[in-house]
Structures are given as structure tokens and as C-alpha cells.
Structure 1
Amino acid sequence: MRSIAVLGGGIGGLAASYYLCKSLQVTKVIVLESSSRFGGWLWSTRRSDGAVFEHGPRGIRPAGAVGHNTLNMVDDLGLAGEILPITHSHAASKNRYLYVNGQLHRMPSGISGLLRRVPPFSRPLLLSVAKEILVKKGVGDDESIHSFVSRRLGKELADIAADSLCRGVFAGDCRKLSMRSCLPLFYNAEQHRGSLLLGLMLGSGPSLVVPPGPLAQRSVKESWAQWSLSRGVESLPESITNSLQQSGTVQLHREAAVKQISPSASGWKIHLEDGVISADHIISALPAKALSSALPSTWIPLIQELQDISTVTVAVVNLEYDGSILPVTGFGHLVPSSEDRGLLGVVYDSVFFPQHNRPTGQSTRLTVMMGGAWFQEVFGAPEAVTEELLLAKATEIVSRHLGVTIPPSWSRVAIQRDCIPQYYQGHFRRVESMRSFIKKNSLSLSLVGSSYDGVSVNDVIFSGRTAVEELLGSGV
């Protein structure tokens, strides 16, 4: 019997288990999750009146190989009928805002937006894009996102657009985040074509290909920009969990925190609070620091590399207001660090997924995201911050930014501790070093999840698939 232990029951661990179940080579999969629920950061609140609120990712992109891969999984799980798609022509796709100098500014879009000067930018963006073709390729194998954008497109775009984007996507500081690891499409465009514009137009080297199934084909035909599910994104890990339970191959364990793992003659001994589990191979979907604390103390090089991957904490405040209270229609607005270091952005949930509103009486759902790389600086230690303080800050922001004068009719505050890994400059070397150590020492260990190869839901799911394919290809 070949048994595989999957450490961590977030979407990465569940995805790896899902792909393992498709193979006849594996006869036993043991999933160990430290909390009382599976799904990790894919976490939805479904209120009794039908309203849905997301405390983590709220929309998933369908594009590219990894996007097709996730939609193929959704199809396989029988969730196609629950898909809520948003097209590129939808107002939430076309209208995105920045809050700069105390005002909301719609981001430029389309040819007309590129040709004219659109505040908060001081000149037409087409000038920056046209000049970019003439910029020399950077030296070195990595640089910060801020440095890259400053060099190719100008400091203003780096200070405002790149800064805001990194806060919205990674809750991180663009002056520290790695261009190569966080935005590989743009990094590779420069490497292969010497220009972002030429790279995006002509392609930038070989790319992953995942044959699109019926749902992914539909997403291309209908020009989806993102999608969710009718009962929230948590339906995806719930469906995977149900599928695993019915497989006959998988044992699912909640509240089973891994204390220590140690090599044995036949593979691994995994020490839990109340016993020991044996496995031939381990797929770790644990956060990097959590895995480092469970490894044998003699594996210093691997432990150090894992510990060097930082994470940030984000306060997610869900708000519901009676009536229609938004002055603009769009996805939401982001805030550069120069404007407000503590506020990352506000998402207008009701605009792009109105199906998640309560079915009776008009209402508006918003999500205020705060903290990230600036959490400690602005709010103090996460364990000491009160939900009351964060709620007061969030409602004050909505009032000041959007002119909302009424209090919310419902709210929920979630402090998501260490939820987003930060890929600082040189991250790719760190990951290469880890996998080199594992290979050199012939360890039956695979690393998946957001700590290594991408933080998006699609990236994490695909990392689970890749690990399983590499594992089964090795004859395990």
C-alpha cells in the first residue's frame, strides 16, 4: 500500500488530494487539518436570509492555463450550474477606482483613456507605454515591482498604480515585492522581448497549456473576467471535501495539528497531539513557517529558507447597508500607501455579485480591507487589536470616501492572521534552494500552497496538481 499524508486542509491540500484520488497508484490519502473546517482562506458566511459575504477571495479569474485548470475541476465536481460569471463588459470589470488626494478617480480604460490625461496621473498613459518600448532590459535576475515599473513606465505609475495594485492583490509593499515571482508574465515579457508591450503582444516564451473543458470553453466564448459560485467561493472546497469523503481512498482529519514529522525506515512518522501516523510520502500544504517548526532540527538549511518567507495580516470588514448607497458603480477602489498606509481598499461586492445580496429589500454589501504589510505599524499587534476598533475605522472610511451618512445594518470583522505570503526579491532562489535540498537528500516531501509558486486560488490549486503529477511520475 502506498500512503500519502497531506498536511493542511486549505484549498492547496484539498486540490492535491483531489488529484491523488484520480490515480490508481495511490491507495490511501490522509489529510490532516489543524482547524475545525476545511477550505482555509476560502471562507463564506451564508446568512439565513440568503445573503453571502466573503472573508477571503471573492472572485476567481478564468484566464490562462491555471484558470482553465480550476474551471475543469469545477466542471468535474458538478458545480457548473452554480457559476456566477462576470464578463469583461460588466461595469465591475470596466470601472475600477483609485482614492488619491481625497478623491475617487476612475482608472483609465480603452483607447480614449490612454490618449488623454486622466487624474490622478499627470500625463496620458499612452506616452508612458510608447516610451517603454525604448527602455533597455534590466540587469540582474530580479528586482522589486516598484523598481521595475519606475524603470520601464515612470515613477508616477510606480508610486500610484503599482503601489495600489500590490496592496490590493498581495496586501504588500511594491518596494519589497519581487517582480519575477509576483508578476512573472510582465517579468518574462521584458526578458524575452525586451519590452512589456511587445511581450504581451507577441508572447514571451513557452507557456503552460491546459486543454479547456466545456466550462472553460464557455468562459472564453462569453469573455468572463471572473467568477464566483451562488453560495460563495467556499462551495468549492466543500465540494472537493465531499468528493474526497465519497472516494473511499481519503481519510479526512479535522483538529489534527501536526507537531513533528520525522523520517522512518518506510517513509515518515507524523506526530499529532494524540498519536502518530505513518506515511510513505508527505505533501505539505502548510504555510512555510508552520512546516519549518515541524521539521527535524538537523535540517537547518531547509528550515531557514522556510522561515524567511514572511506573511502579512489583513483585517477584512464586511458591511451591509440598507438601500443603494454607492456614488459610483464599479469593482471598488484601491488606495496607495501615500494616501493611507492602513487602508488597502474597498470592494463594492453588490456591484459584481448582486446575487449574493439578501433577496428582499435593496441593500449594498461592501468589504473594507486594512493592514497588510502595514498592519503592525498602524494598528499594533494583531492579537491586541479589537474588532470594535477595526469596525469603527472601516465605517469611517466608507463615510469619508463614499459619502455614506447612515450606519451599516450588519457587519462582521475578521482578522486574517498571516494570510498572504510575501514574495520578496530573490524569492525564486529561496524556493529553488528548498527543492534542491529536498532532492539532494532524497526526501519524500512535496511543497504546495501559496508560500511558493503563486498566491492566487488558481495558482494554489495548480501547485497541488503539479506536485501530484511529479510524484506519480516518479513511480511512487
Structure 2
Amino acid sequence: MRTIAVLGGGIGGLAASYYLCKSPQISKVVVFESSNRFGGRLWSTRRSDGAVFEHGPRAIRPAGAVGHNTLNMVDDLGLAMEILPVTHSHVASKNRYLYVNGQLHRMPSGISGLLRTVPPFSRPLLLNIAMEILVKKGTEDDESIHSFVSRRLGKELADIAVDSLCRGVFAGDCKKLSVRSCLPLLYNAEQRRGSLTLGLLLGSGPNPVVTPGPLAQRSIKESWAQWSLSRGLESLAESITEYLQQSEIVQLHREAAVKQISPSASGWMIHLEDGVISADHIISALPAKALASSLPPSCQPLIQELQDISTVTVAVVNLEYDGSILPVKGFGHLIPSSEDRGVLGVVYDSVSFPQHNRPKGETTRLTVMMGGAWFQEEFGAPEAVKDEHLLARATEVVNCHLGVNTAPSWSWVTLQRDCIPQYYQGHYRRVEAMQRFIRKNNLSLSLIGSSYDGVSVNEVIFSGRTAVEELLGRGV
């Protein structure tokens, strides 16, 4: 009997278990989750009046192999009828804003937007793109996103647009984040074509291939930009959990924190609060530091690399207002660190997914994201900050940025502690060193999740699939 232990019941661990279930080579899958629920950061509140609020990711992109892979899973789980697609022609896709110098500015889009000087930029962005083709290829094996974009597209674009983008996606500082690990598409475009423009136009190397199923084909045909589910994205985690519960080979354990893992003759011994379980192989979907604290001393080089992966804390404040209160329509707005270090952005949830509004009475739902790499300096220690302080800051932002003078009719403050790993310069070397150690020592261990090769839901799910395929390829 081949027993696979999956550590962590977030979307990565659930995805890996889902793919393991589909193989006749696997006899038993045991999933350990330390909290009282599965799904990790996929966390939706469904109010009794029909309104839905997201406390983690709120939409998923359908594009590329990893996007198609997730949609294939959604199809297989029978969730296609619950999909809420947002097309590229939708106002939430076309209108994205930056809050700079105390004003909202719509980001340029389309050829006309690139040809004109659009505030807050001082010249047409097409000039930056045209000049980029002439820039020499960088000589470093990695550099910060800010340095990379400044060199190729100009400092203004890096200071405003890219700074804001990194805060919105990674809640991080673009002057520290690695372009090679965070934005591999851009890094590879320069490496293989000598230019971002040529790389994006002509392709910049091999990509994983996933055959799009019916739902993914529909997303291509209808030109989706993003999607959610009618009951929130936590539905995806819940559906995988139900699928696993129906499998005869899966055991799911909530409130089962892994205290220690130690090598055994056949693989590993997994020490829990109330006993020990043996496994032939471990797939760890735990955050890097959590895995580090569980490994035996013989894995000290691996432990050190895992401990060196930083994370940031994000305050997520969901707000509901009576009536239609937005001065503009769009996806939302981001704020560069030069404008307000503590506030990352505001998402206009009601514009993208009005289906999540309560059915009776017009309302506006917003989410304010705060902290990230600047949490400590702006709000203090996460364990000491009070919800009331975070809520007050969020409502002040909505008042100042959007001119909303009324108080929210409903609010929910969530502190997502250590929720987004930060891929600093040289992150790829750290991941390579960990994989080398695992291979050299013949450890029956796979590392998946957002700590290593991508923080998006799609990338985390795909990391679970890849680990399972590699495991099965080795004849487990």
C-alpha cells in the first residue's frame, strides 16, 4: 500500500489530493489541516440575505495553461453552472484606476490610450514601449522588478504603475521583489528575445500545455478576463473537499496540526498531538516557515532556506454601503507607495460581481486592502492591532478617495497574517537549493503552494498537479 500524506488543507493541498485521487497507483491519501476548515485563503462569507463577501482572493484569471487547468477542474467538479464570468469588454476589465496626487486616474487602455499623454504619466506610454526595443539586455541573473522596469521602460512607469501593481498582486515592495520569480514572463521575454515587446509578440519560450476542456474553451470564445462563483470562491474548496470525502482512499483530518515529521525506513513518521501516522511520501502544502518548524534536524540546510522565505500580513476590510455611491465604474484603484504606504488598494466588488450583492435594495460592496510589506510600520505588530483601527482607516480611505461621506451599513475586518510569500531577489536560487537537497538526500518530499513558484490560485493549484505527476512518474 502506498500512502501519501498531504500537509495543509488549503487550495494547494486540496488540489494535490484531488489529482492523487485520480491515480490507480495511489492506495491511500491522508490530509492534515491544522485549522477547523479546509480552503485556506479561499474564504467567503455568505450572508443570510444573499450577499457574498470575499476575505481572500475574489476572482481568478482564466488565461494560459494554469488558467485552463483550473477551469478543467471546475468543470469536473460540476461547478460550471455557478461560474460568474467577467469579459474583457466589461467595464471592470476596461477601467482600472490609480490614486495619485490625491486624484483617481484611469489607466490607459487600447491604442488610443497609449498614443496620448494620460495623467499621471508625463508622456504617451507608446514612447516607452517603442524605446524599450532598443534597450540592451541586462547582465544580472536576477534583479528587482523596479530596477528591471526602470531600465527597460523608464523610472516613471516603475515608480507609479509597477509599484502599484506589485502592491495589488503581491502586497509587496517592487524594489525588493524579484522580476525573475514574480514576473517570469517579462524576465524570459528579455532573456530570449532581448525585448519585452518582441518576447510578448513572438513568444519567449516553452510553456506548460493543458488541453482546454469545454469550460476553458468557453472562456476563450467569450473572452473572459476573470471569473468567480455564485456562492464565492470558497465554493471551489468546498467542492474539492466533498469530492475527496466521497473517495474511498482519502482521509481528511481537521484540527490536526503536524508537530514533527521524522524519517522512517519506508518514508516518514508524522507526529500529531494525539498520535503518529506513517506515510511513504509527503506532499507539503504548508507555508515555508511552518514546514521548517516540523522538519528533523537532519534537514537543517533545507530548514534554513525555508525560514528565509519572508511573508507579509494584509488587512482585508469588506464594506457595504446603501445605494450606488461610486463616482466611477471599474475594477477598483491601486495606490503607489509614494501616495500612501499603508493602503494598497480598493476593489469595487459590486462592479465586477453585482450578483454577490444582496438581491433586495441597491448596495455597493467594496474591499480595502491594507498593510502588506508596510504593515508593521503603518499599523504596528499584527497581534496588537485592533479591528476598530483598521476599519476606521479603511472608511477614511473610501471617504477621501471616492468622496463617500456616509458610514458603511455593514463591515467585516479580516487580518490575513503571513498570507503572501515575498519572492525577493535570488528567490529562484533558494528554490533550486531546496530541490537539490531533497534530491541529494532522496527525501520522499514534494513542496507545493505559494511559497515557491507563484502566489495566484491558478499557480498554487497547478503546483499540486505538477507534484503529483512527478510523483507518479517516479513510479510511486
Superposition TM-score, scaled by structure 1 size: 1.00
Tell me which amino acid in the other structure corresponds to 1:415: L
Residue 111 of structure 1 deviates from its aligned partner by 0.6
* Pairing 1:147-166 to 2, within 5 Å after superposition: 147-166=147-166
* Pairing 1:299-338 to 2, within 5 Å after superposition: 299-338=299-338
Name the CA distance, whole Å, in 2 between partners of 1:65 and 1:95. Answer: 26
Residue 267 of structure 1 deviates from its aligned partner by 1.0
Name the CA distance, whole Å, in 2 between partners of 1:276 and 1:206. Answer: 43
Residue 206 of structure 1 deviates from its aligned partner by 1.2
**Identity rate of aligned residues, in percent?**
85
Residue 205 of structure 1 deviates from its aligned partner by 1.2
Residue 3 of structure 1 deviates from its aligned partner by 0.3
Residue 426 of structure 1 deviates from its aligned partner by 0.6
Tell me which amino acid in the other structure corresponds to 2:383: E
Matched, 1:104 2:104: yes
Name the CA distance, whole Å, in 2 between partners of 1:101 and 1:205. Answer: 40
* Secondary structure of residue in 2 paired with 1:384: coil
Tell me which amino acid in the other structure corresponds to 1:328: V
* Secondary structure of residue in 1 paired with 2:383: helix
Matched, 1:50 2:29: no
Q: Deviations over 1:53-112 (max 9, x none)?
A: 000000000000000000000000000000000000000000000000000000000111
* Pairing 1:224-303 to 2, within 5 Å after superposition: 224-303=224-303
Name the CA distance, whole Å, in 2 between partners of 1:354 and 1:107. Answer: 23
The runs of 4+ residues in structure 1 deviating greater than 6 Å are: none
Name the counterpart of 2:79. 79
Name the CA distance, whole Å, in 1 between partners of 2:131 and 2:185. Answer: 20
Residue 300 of structure 1 deviates from its aligned partner by 1.3
Q: Deviations over 1:309-362 (max 9, x none)?
A: 000000000000000000000000000000000000000000000000000000
* Secondary structure of residue in 2 paired with 1:401: helix
Residue 208 of structure 1 deviates from its aligned partner by 1.2
Residue 16 of structure 1 deviates from its aligned partner by 0.2
Name the counterpart of 2:468. 468
Name the CA distance, whole Å, in 2 between partners of 1:67 and 1:422. Answer: 22
Name the counterpart of 2:220. 220
Name the CA distance, whole Å, in 2 between partners of 1:159 and 1:16. Answer: 38
Name the CA distance, whole Å, in 2 between partners of 1:2 and 1:287. Answer: 25
Give the number of equivalent residue pairs.
476
Name the CA distance, whole Å, in 1 between partners of 2:34 and 2:207. Answer: 36
Q: Deviations over 1:86-140 (max 9, x none)?
A: 0000000000000000000000001110001000000000000000000000011
Matched, 1:173 2:173: yes
Residue 255 of structure 1 deviates from its aligned partner by 0.3
Residue 165 of structure 1 deviates from its aligned partner by 0.1
Name the CA distance, whole Å, in 2 between partners of 1:56 and 1:159. Answer: 27
* Secondary structure of residue in 2 paired with 1:298: helix
* Pairing 1:58-457 to 2, within 5 Å after superposition: 58-457=58-457
Give the RMSD, CA atoms, in angstroms. 0.4
Tell me which amino acid in the other structure corresponds to 2:255: E
Name the CA distance, whole Å, in 1 between partners of 2:112 and 2:188. Answer: 28
Residue 298 of structure 1 deviates from its aligned partner by 2.5
Name the CA distance, whole Å, in 1 between partners of 2:140 and 2:402. Answer: 43
Name the CA distance, whole Å, in 2 between partners of 1:4 and 1:205. Answer: 34
Superposition TM-score, scaled by structure 2 size: 1.00
* Secondary structure of residue in 1 paired with 2:73: helix
Name the CA distance, whole Å, in 1 between partners of 2:333 and 2:266. Answer: 53
* Secondary structure of residue in 1 paired with 2:276: strand
Name the CA distance, whole Å, in 2 between partners of 1:110 and 1:268. Answer: 55
* Secondary structure of residue in 1 paired with 2:189: helix
Q: Deviations over 1:137-194 (max 9, x none)?
A: 0011110000000000000000001100000000000000000100011111111100
Structure 1: runs of 5 or more not aligned: none
